[in-house]
């Protein structure tokens, strides 16, 4: 009895530590949830596979502000991909994630595309409402159709990485 209880507690502790987020495709103006697209877990962004959203190959490995391409399907760190500085997402390259051109700028719940090293806001790209991201257009980021939604705890660096690929 004690062995079974100890085993259950260890499984529960492992499940609480994982902090898994599942990102789904979303559709329409109301954000109807579709198939799973990505699994974000333990500092890694995986492709989602199958109807039950099982974890597929690793695409990116991230820290608090740096994102690296995965060196293999299991999540070893490869070359730099993105760098988050405050509210701005830059491309980066090399093993030390050297900062490059700006891609996205956040302004509250609005996300704008940007180009160049100084991160000037360009055209509106996305609008974040709760746990759903919508396409946006125009200078005021007018809401269009939904693109993705998620369940679980999704760090901003992971969300911006996924949005940079859309």
Is residue 2 pLDDT above 60, yes or no?
no
Q: What token pair was written down for 125?
A: 């790209």
CA distances from 114 to 50, 61, 106, 125, 158 (A): 34, 23, 10, 10, 18
Is residue 61 pLDDT above 90, yes or no?
yes
Q: Sort residue 46 into left (φ over 0), alpha (ψ -120 to 50) or beta.
A: beta
Query: Tens digit of pLDDT for each residue in 78-116?
Result: 999 999 999 999 999 999 999 999 999 999 999 999 987
What whole-number distance in Å separates Cα of residue 116 and Cα of residue 136? 21
- Model confidence at 6, pLDDT cuts 50, 70, 90, reads very low
* Model pTM score: 0.86
């Amino acid at each position: 009895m004690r062995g079974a209880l100890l085993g259950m507690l260890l499984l529960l502790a492992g499940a609480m530590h994982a902090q898994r987020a599942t990102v789904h495709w979303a559709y329409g103006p109301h954000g109807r949830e579709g198939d799973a697209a990505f699994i974000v877990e333990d500092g890694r962004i995986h492709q989602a596979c199958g109807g039950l959203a099982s974890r597929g190959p690793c695409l990116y490995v991230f820290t608090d502000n740096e994102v690296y391409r995965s060196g293999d399907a299991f999540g070893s760190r490869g070359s730099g991909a993105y760098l988050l500085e405050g509210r701005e997402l830059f491309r980066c390259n090399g093993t030390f994630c050297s900062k490059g051109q700006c891609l996205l700028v956040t302004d509250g719940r609005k996300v704008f595309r940007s180009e160049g090293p100084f991160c000037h806001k360009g055209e509106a790209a996305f609008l974040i409402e709760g746990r759903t991201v919508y396409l946006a257009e125009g200078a005021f980021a007018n809401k269009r159709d939904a693109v993705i939604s998620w369940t679980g705890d999704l760090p901003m660096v992971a969300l911006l990485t996924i949005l940079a690929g859309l």
